[in-house]
Amino acid sequence: MWARDGSELTGARAVGQPLGLFPEPALDVQTRTLLPGDTLLLYTDGVTDTVNPAGDVFELDGLHAAVRAATATTAQELCDHIVERVVTFQETAQQHDDITLVVVQAY
């Protein structure tokens, strides 16, 4: 997903095979132009598939809410904020998948 100049959140659905699963995967190539002020967020499904003790799932809505609530000014601060929101949501439930985030900010 990416945020255009800190406001509009837009997503791109990944299609094709997961990375690292096959020796020669068929890759889905997508192109996006980042403008100054834009933020690109790449994440694994471990973020959106996180479950809390009540069985609720963090989902894309939870990720969108975390990004919108962030007051971060750096990529690291945004990553830290999202991970904190996921862990707070998860409470005492066990994490069953990795949580991987990559944040790119255009200047």
| 23 domain-assigned | no
- The tally of domains found in the chain comes to 1
Does position 13 have pLDDT exceeding 90, yes or no?
no
- Give the tens place of pLDDT for each residue, 73-98: 899 999 999 999 999 999 999 998 99
Inform me whether the pLDDT recorded for 5 exceeds 80.
no
Task: Tell me, letter by letter, the H, E, C secondary structure of 81-107.
Answer: HHHHHHHHHHCCCCCCCCCCEEEEECC
What is the spatial distance between Cα 3 and Cα 18, in angstroms, rounded to a whole number?
24
Host domain of residue 99: 2-11+37-105
Residue 48 CB partners (closer than 8 Å, separation 6+): 57, 58, 59, 60, 62, 63
Quick one: tokens of 60? 């894309």
Residue 32 lies in a domain: no
Nearest alpha-carbon partner for 80 in 91, 70, 65: 70
